[in-house]
Amino acid sequence: MSISLKTHKMLWGSFGNRCAFPSCKKILIEGQTDTDQESLIGEESHIVAKQLKGPRGKSSLTSSQRDNYENLLLLCKNHHKIIDDQPNKYTVEFLLHMKKEHLEWVNKNLTVDKNKQQDDEIYSAFIDEWAKLANINNWSSWASDILQNGLPKIKIRQYKNLEKLNKFIFSRVWPGRYPELKFAFVNFENILSDFINVFSKYKIKIAYKDLYYWTEKIYERLNRWDPEAHSRLLQKFNYHVALVQDLLCELTRAGNFLCDQIRKDISPSFRIKEGVLLVISGPYMDLKYKTHRLMYISNNISDCIYPGLREFMEVRNKRNIFFGDGVREDYFHHLF
């Protein structure tokens, strides 16, 4: 577990971006410049330590509860170190009282845009759910299963989470504050919807691989010798596999675009440490695998908007990475 983005926004907003130590109150955010985004110079500090052996760590709080807003402070680096170096002086009771007094000080002395704070928390909750269901911390692992060995597969649990995510994004009530962030979410959902629809066309659950949905080798359906029918089904299978893979690549581009918008509107530090979403394809003729960094050509909405499945079939070969091209009318109409 880690501190959620919603908790992060709650903490910084309610603390007025200030160090909670009584003699400090230092502003912990450096504003953006003409060339750089804002910089957060404060630290999110645990009252009861994250680990049992940490400062004030002996507690009945669970691991997830230790990352909740109720157990957190916002401090400058110096005072964070002081309270952790001197836990006998800065006890849980002392820090809870310090937090209470600081929140009262913020409400009395600072002007907080509560509407913006509320909108940021709503979007942050959406982002947390997206990150969890899309499993972005393990994106390269599960997404690469779609692109490897010429036979797309996906863990059933991950597939069901993607179905949940599709419904979750579709059903959101969006605050009007960040239209480009909303677009990034909806664009991701549009691609995800088609990915699920296309993958499900030939998905099967193999008994000895019951944790996965695999793509059925439809050319093996024939129980008779018929080279022409076999060739026709093989071509359809190859077309289907390439389309599934191209949609996964497009979904990765949309995911990276969404991360960019999150950094722009909500949290400049979002996934800075982890980096962009990557995927791995292969093996190729030389038995090697390739790692792909999939991005749109720019962050202009006109360059990022998903055109719908049929048009995507036609334009996917204009992307930097693609596995198939063209529209098979018989295949397309059979999807709907």
Q: What pLDDT digit, counting tens, does each position of 9-39 carry? A: 999 999 999 999 999 999 998 766 666 666 7
Amino acid at 150: G
How does pLDDT run across 130-164, given as a tens digit for each residue?
999 999 999 999 999 999 999 999 999 999 999 99
CB-based contacts of 184, cutoff 8 Å, min separation 6: 254, 257, 258, 260, 261, 304
**Domains of the chain, residue spans:** 5-112, 117-335
pLDDT of residue 70 exceeding 70: yes
In the block, tokens 């793509």 appear at 215
How does pLDDT run across 73-129, given as a tens digit for each residue?
999 999 999 999 999 999 999 999 999 999 999 999 999 899 999 999 999 999 999
User: Which long-range CB contacts under 8 A does 230-238 form with residues at least 24 apart?
Assistant: 236/328, 236/331, 237/202, 238/324
Which pTM does this prediction carry? Answer: 0.90
How far apart, in whole angstroms, are the C-alpha atoms of residue 206 and residue 151?
13
Strands 290-293 and 278-281: antiparallel
Tell me the backbone φ, ψ of residue 294, rounded to 5 degrees: -105, 115
Contact between residue 119 and residue 265 where contact means Cβ atoms under 8 Å apart: no
Q: Using H for helix, E for strand and C for coil, what is the string for 200-217?
A: HCCEEECHHHCCEEEECC
Confidence of residue 226 (pLDDT cuts 50, 70, 90): confident
**How does the average pLDDT of the chain come out, rounded?**
93
